[in-house]
Structure formats: structure tokens, C-alpha cells
């Protein structure tokens, strides 16, 4: 049992949410504290809690206002619960899930691979090797349903987004946006540098488990010549 790290601050986000802040930066250690707190809160899940939304360094808790009597200040009650149940307790460090995702790099599936290689001063093969040898953490899902923001990109591969986003990026496209990498679940507009593509289905709203990846998961990319 490891102590769960208390948030450095608890703020309100509008009328019906608390924002628990665990740091200011994008780093694996801070993000791990977010996921530890999210796991503990999800296990306790009080009936008034509607949504638990992790981000890089913060965690939002959305409250069902009508679950409290009209005379009760719902956010005050929720904050009291957080301080009692989450901050003073110990929580088990959950073992993260580990997933592998097959990717075809370059060619029509990765139109920006050459540009990323040129920007990094590497060969295309080196970019693929570095991208596929890292151990990534799903910091959060956002932007679109099932879109993972992955921490752990080799810093030499970091590259600013396109000046003008593409109007259409294929589903499964693996991209680099600044110091992060991610995967587009659906076709649509996008400004990340696309270096490859997977045919893994990232999001299926009708499934019992709609999202292939969950916040806190560990991910590796496996280069393949063709998608099975």
C-alpha cells in the first residue's frame, strides 16, 4: 500500500465540478499521481459522482447537483469528501494494463515521416526505431472520443504541429504533436504530424468497453510491414 499523494490544490470548475491539481507540468510522475487518485476515487465512487476526468496534472470530479438536498452546497460537500476519503488514506498502486499496437510507418500511411526525420536530423528508419522503442503512458483521453495523449516520446522526435491542419486524417493515424504522440480514432481534421497508421479500433461507442485505451495504460508501438 502506497500513500496516495494529495493534490496541491482543489479548485472549482464551474458550478458542478472540482478540479484537483497535482502539479503544473507534463511528466510521468505527476500524471501517475493523477491516475492513482482517479483509481482510488473510482473504487469508492459515491453516488453523486458523475464523471472522473483525468488530465496531465489534474483531475476533474463532476458532481450530480440534484443528488444533494437543495440546502446543501454540493461542491463544499464533495470537497469535504475528497479531503476525508482520498487525501488521508492509502491506496494500492494499481498495476497498469500493457497494450501493443501494430503500426505501418511511412508511405501513404505516414506522410510526415520524412519531415519528422529531417526535423530530428535522423533517418526515417531511426525515427521509427525510436518511436517504437519507447514505453508510453496514456496521460488522458481527450480531443475526441478515445483519442490518447501519450507521454514518453523520445524528445528528439518532438516537432511542432502543422501550421495548417489537414482537413482529413485517416482513422488510426499515429501522429506527433509537439512533445506528445497520439492516435486519431476517427477520420477527421488534424494538425499532428502523421508518421504511421494502425488498424486497431480505438473507439466503438456501442461496445461494453468503448475505448481501446484507458487513462493510465502503458502502450508500445510495434512496426509491421502490413496491417493484419
Partner 1 sequence: MTIRVLAPGLLTTVQDGGRHGSRALGVGHAGALDPYAHAVANLLVGNAADAPALEITLTGPRLQFDSGARVAICGAHVDARVDALPIPCWRPIALPAGSVLSIGACRDGARAYVAITGGFRADTVLGSASTDLRGGFGGSAGRALVAGDVLDVNGDTTVDDLHIARWWIDPSPDYDHAPVAIVRLLAGRDATSPVDGVFAGEWRVASASDRQGVRLEGASLHVAETIERISEPVSPGTVQLPPDGAPIVLLADAQTHGGYPRIGHAIRADWPRLAQLRPGDRLRFVPCSLAQAAQARREQAQRLARIALAIQARRSGA
Q: Report 155-194 residues binding partner 1 (CB under 8 A).
A: 186, 188
Q: Minimum Å distance from CB 23 to partner 1?
A: 9
Please choose, out of 19-27, 83-91, 120-128, 162-170, the segment that lies near partner 1 by the rule CB under 8 A.
19-27
Query: Is the Cβ of residue 145 or residue 223 nearer to partner 1 in the bound state?
Result: 145
Q: Which of 60, 77, 99, 224 binds partner 1 (CB under 8 A)?
A: 60
Query: Is the Cβ of residue 5 or residue 130 nearer to partner 1 in the bound state?
Result: 5
Q: Which of 105, 147, 184, 192 binds partner 1 (CB under 8 A)?
A: 147
| Short-list 78, 84, 91, CA closest to 19 | 78
List the Cα angle 134/136/111 in 5-degree steps: 70
Query: Is the Cβ of residue 111 or residue 148 nearer to partner 1 in the bound state?
Result: 148
Residues sharing a CB contact under 8 Å with residue 221, sequence separation 6 or more, in sequence order: 100, 101, 102, 103, 131, 132, 136, 174, 196, 198
Q: Which of 1, 2, 15, 226 binds partner 1 (CB under 8 A)?
A: 15
Per CB under 8 A, does 198 bind partner 1? Answer: no
Q: Report 99-138 residues binding partner 1 (CB under 8 A).
A: none
Q: Which of 144, 165, 222, 227 binds partner 1 (CB under 8 A)?
A: 144
Q: Which of 50, 119, 130, 166 binds partner 1 (CB under 8 A)?
A: 50
Q: Quote the distance between the C-alpha of residue 132 and its chain's center.
A: 18
Per CB under 8 A, does 17 bind partner 1? Answer: yes
Which residues of the chain form contacts with partner 1 (CB under 8 A)?
11-17, 19, 24-26, 38, 50-60, 62, 64-65, 70, 73, 75, 140-147, 149, 186, 188, 203, 205-206, 210-211, 214-215
Amino acid at each position: 500500500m502506497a500513500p496516495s499523494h494529495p493534490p496541491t490544490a482543489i479548485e472549482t470548475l464551474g458550478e458542478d465540478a472540482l478540479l484537483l491539481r497535482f502539479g503544473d507540468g507534463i511528466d510521468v510522475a505527476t500524471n501517475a499521481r493523477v491516475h492513482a487518485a482517479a483509481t482510488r476515487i473510482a473504487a469508492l465512487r459515491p453516488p453523486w459522482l458523475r464523471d472522473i476526468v483525468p488530465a496531465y496534472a489534474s483531475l476533474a470530479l463532476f458532481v450530480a447537483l440534484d443528488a444533494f438536498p437543495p440546502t446543501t452546497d454540493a461542491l463544499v460537500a464533495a470537497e469535504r469528501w475528497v479531503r476525508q476519503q482520498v487525501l488521508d488514506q492509502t491506496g494500492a498502486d494499481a498495476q497498469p494494463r500493457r497494450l501493443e499496437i501494430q503500426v505501418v510507418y511511412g508511405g501513404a500511411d505516414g506522410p510526415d515521416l520524412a519531415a519528422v526525420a529531417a526535423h530530428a536530423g535522423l533517418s526515417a528508419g531511426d525515427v521509427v526505431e525510436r518511436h517504437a522503442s519507447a514505453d508510453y503512458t496514456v496521460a488522458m483521453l481527450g480531443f475526441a472520443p478515445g483519442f490518447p495523449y501519450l507521454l514518453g516520446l523520445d524528445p528528439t522526435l518532438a516537432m511542432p504541429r502543422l501550421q495548417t491542419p489537414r482537413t482529413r486524417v485517416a482513422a488510426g493515424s499515429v501522429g506527433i504533436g509537439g512533445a506528445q504522440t497520439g492516435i486519431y480514432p476517427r477520420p477527421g481534421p488534424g494538425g499532428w504530424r502523421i508518421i504511421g497508421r494502425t488498424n486497431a479500433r480505438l473507439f466503438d461507442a456501442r461496445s461494453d468497453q468503448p475505448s481501446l485505451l484507458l487513462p493510465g495504460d502503458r502502450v508500445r508501438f510495434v512496426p509491421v510491414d502490413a496491417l493484419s
